[in-house]
Amino acid sequence: MSASLEQQPQASVMRASDLTEVIEVELRNYPFPWTEGIFHDCVKAGYTCQVLRLEGVVIGYAVLQVAADEAHLLNICIDKAFNRKGYARSLLEKMLLLAKRQGAQTVFLEVRPSNPRAITMYDLAGFNEVGLRKNYYDTYGGREDAIVMAKIL
């Protein structure tokens, strides 16, 4: 491999031993982050949890819950130092593939209206707006609604 070619990140199953790094990324990227306990519960419950590593370092992660024929993308994040490289889109595609392999026919997610980059990514991935959850997210000024999006696999 040429030295000028950038190494591509690799996705793998999130383990309890990854949670320290995952929390560090979460804390750097969200003003109202998930706790380590939430991530631990998701791993313990058997949710589909992936970490994205670049040169051995966690740069992103995703958490997906699958039940019956529906999946819910609960969290997806790429550390802001690695934004705009296509890593989030790649991780999203991986999670959609994993959802389909587990029998999901539809994937749902919530996104902040104040996050246009994420909304655009989901639109480009084939998600459609299907609803609104009032006062869903914490903000410094109170609460923010969530746009509910869905994609049929």
pLDDT in tens, 71-114: 999 999 999 999 999 999 999 999 999 999 999 999 999 999 99
91 located within any domain: yes
Q: How many domains does the chain contain in total?
A: 1
4 located within any domain: no
Closest by alpha carbon to 61, among 36, 106, 131, 69? 36
> What is the rounded average pLDDT of the residues 119-126?
97
What's the pTM? 0.92
CB 43 within 8 A of CB 75: no
5 located within any domain: no
For this structure, is 122 an active site residue?
yes
3 located within any domain: no
Note the pLDDT of residue 3.
44
Structure tokens at 15: 């383990």
Which of the following is catalytic: 61, 122, 137, 144? 122
CATH number at 93 reads 3.40.630.30
CA–centroid distance for 134 within its chain: 21
Which of the following is catalytic: 110, 129, 137, 144? 110
Q: Which domain holds residue 77?
A: 10-152
H or E element in which residue 142 lies:
strand 142-152
2 located within any domain: no
Higher pLDDT among residues 4 and 17, named by residue: 17
Structure tokens at 113: 């209206």
36 located within any domain: yes
Per-residue pLDDT of 15-61, as tens digits, reads: 999 999 999 999 999 999 999 999 999 999 999 999 999 999 999 99
21 located within any domain: yes
104 located within any domain: yes
| C-beta neighbour count of 111 within 10 angstroms | 22
Cα angle, residue 77 at apex, residues 120 and 49 outer, rounded to 5°: 120
Residue 133 half-sphere exposure, CB side, CA atoms within 13 Å? 13
| Adjacent-strand bridge partners of 76 | 62
For this structure, is 110 an active site residue?
yes
The two beta strands, 70-78 and 10-13, are: unpaired
